[in-house]
């Protein structure tokens, strides 16, 4: 009798779990209610719980798709709130439970210009260097995405300070970067005010400093071209007798080409070495990568691209001259009253 009573008493407790929790339709209905209230992320999480309560039935079969659709809607809301990072996370999560049609919507949205440029904007703000931020913002501002408006607003607010700071770094001591490049950006920005005036004064000081060095570099280019011409002529006139005969030798004599003796060759070599050394010192003094690089390219042409007129021995290594604009005169110091 006692054993039977224990069995009867314990039976309801053993059966209790089947009545605990919520059924699949109930969870599904709650998820739909949350979706209707605009609580889309919560709704998606509820939809995903449907099959955990009952793996069979229509509600379970529809749950994954409804979760994906809810996250797509939440992603659109996030984009509207200018939060592409959240939108990307929601879209990526939606792809895990989406059917083919919904997955295509998600992947298309992830690849959309609005999403790509929105993410680029957020990532740009994470750069430590304001110049890197500005460089990224220029690219974003050139697009037609909603992020372009925010990028332009950022540039309007922050770029003047960045431009002035770049001039101070490049044109003032210790001169890091290209002063001419920073000066061009300052001119394009058309800034006004004391900070802009001070930056302009730095640019003009640097232009006055490097003007004599730039003029010297042009003269050295001509010297290097003349040395290369002389070297080519001596080599030509020393070898033509075995190639084209005595007539060319006579022409070389008419051109006043010195006989390529050891002493003459050594003198030319020393002249080249001294000129090259002066050239390197001059470029170091100029110190502006945007000016130095073209000078190096022109020097390479001056010593390597030499024209000739065949048998006559008329060889010339030359480089086109460049007029260096004169800087503004230094302002006169204010007279003491």
Residue 25: per-residue pLDDT: 82
- The tokens for 320 are 């086109």
If one compares 315 and 304, the residue with the highest pLDDT of the two is 304
In degrees and rounded to multiples of 5, residue 169 shows phi and psi of -70, -45
- Mean pLDDT score of the chain: 85
Q: CB-side exposure of 76: number of CA atoms within 13 Å?
A: 10
- CATH assignment of 22-111, given 2.60.40, 3.30.450, 1.10.3470, 1.25.40? 1.25.40
Q: What CA–CA distance (Å, rounded) separates 138 from 156?
A: 11
3-state helix, strand, coil in the chain (%, to 5): 75, 0, 25
- The tokens for 33 are 């209610």
The band of 246, judged by pLDDT with boundaries at 50, 70 and 90, is: low
CB atoms within 10 A of CB 223: 16
The band of 245, judged by pLDDT with boundaries at 50, 70 and 90, is: low
Q: What CA–CA distance (Å, rounded) separates 70 from 48?
A: 11
Residue 131: per-residue pLDDT: 85
Q: What is the pTM of this model?
A: 0.64
Using the predicted structure, report yes or no on whether residue 337 has a pLDDT greater than 70.
no
If one compares 331 and 19, the residue with the highest pLDDT of the two is 331
DSSP annotation of 143 reads S
Using the predicted structure, report yes or no on whether residue 313 has a pLDDT greater than 60.
no
């Amino acid at each position: 009798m006692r054993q039977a009573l224990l069995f009867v008493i314990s039976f309801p407790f053993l059966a209790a779990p089947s009545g605990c929790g919520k059924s699949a339709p109930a969870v599904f209905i709650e998820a739909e209610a949350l979706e209707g209230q605009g609580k889309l992320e919560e709704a998606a999480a509820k939809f995903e719980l449907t099959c955990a309560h009952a793996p069979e039935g229509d509600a379970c079969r529809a749950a994954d798709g409804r979760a994906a659709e809810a996250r797509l809607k939440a992603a659109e809301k996030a984009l509207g709130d200018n939060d592409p990072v959240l939108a990307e996370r929601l879209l990526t999560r939606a792809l895990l439970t989406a059917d083919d049609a919904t997955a295509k919507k998600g992947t298309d949205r992830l690849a959309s210009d609005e999403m790509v440029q929105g993410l680029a904007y957020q990532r740009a703000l994470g750069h430590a260097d304001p110049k890197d931020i500005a460089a990224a913002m220029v690219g974003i501002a050139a697009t037609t995405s909603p992020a372009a408006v925010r990028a332009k607003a950022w540039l309007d607010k922050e770029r003047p300070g960045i431009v002035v700071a770049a001039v101070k770094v490049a044109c003032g001591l210790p001169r890091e970067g290209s002063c001419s490049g920073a000066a061009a950006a300052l001119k394009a920005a058309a800034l006004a005010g004391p900070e802009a005036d001070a930056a302009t004064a730095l640019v003009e000081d640097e232009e006055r400093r490097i003007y004599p060095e730039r003029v010297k570099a042009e003269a050295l280019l001509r010297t290097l071209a003349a040395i290369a011409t002389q070297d080519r002529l001596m080599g030509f006139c020393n070898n033509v007798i075995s190639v084209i005969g005595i007539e060319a030798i006579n022409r070389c004599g008419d051109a006043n080409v010195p006989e390529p003796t050891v002493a003459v060759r050594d003198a030319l070599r020393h002249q080249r070495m001294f000129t090259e050394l002066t050239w390197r010192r001059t470029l170091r003094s100029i110190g502006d990568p945007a000016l130095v690089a073209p000078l190096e390219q022109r020097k390479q042409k001056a010593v390597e691209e030499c024209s000739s007129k065949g048998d006559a021995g008329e060889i010339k290594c030359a480089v086109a001259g460049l007029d260096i604009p004169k800087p503004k005169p230094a302002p006169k110091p204010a007279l003491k009253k």
